[in-house]
Structure 1
Amino acid sequence: MNEILKLEDIEKLMEDSREAIEYQNEVSNLLAGGLSRADEQDVEAEYEESITQ
């Protein structure tokens, strides 16, 4: 298993997972409180940025 996954790859995966969870929590909080049109545009822009990285 160690030969398949390098430590750097595992650390990158863990960081990506943390970022995804933070983003999911942020979106959930925004949805729970309702979104203004400006909030929706901000969320859409952030989402687009996250999928192009």
Structure 2
Amino acid sequence: MTDEKQPDLVEEKLFTQSELDEIISKRLARQHKKHVEAIRVLVQALTNEEVKE
């Protein structure tokens, strides 16, 4: 018995422009939320560091 990997079969999906816009919009919103949180944590860390000095 060989241990060859079978290629994954993926059905090709074509999206409408509206669907693409929605997908992109959701992804950008998630990235924005992550960036806002990262900036908030950084500012908080810097503010706490300034208070200690």
Q: TM-score, normalised by structure 1?
A: 0.55
Gaps of 5+ in 2: 1-20
Instruction: Give runs of ≥4 in structure 1 deviating > 6 Å.
Output: none
CA RMSD in angstroms, aligned pairs only: 1.7
Percentage of matched positions with identical amino acids = 3
Number of aligned residue pairs: 32
Which protein, 1 or 2, shows the higher relative CO under an 8 Å CA cutoff with sep ≥ 6?
1
Structure 1 or 2: larger helix share?
A: 1
Larger Rg: 2
Q: TM-score, normalised by structure 2?
A: 0.55
Gaps of 5+ in 1: 35-53
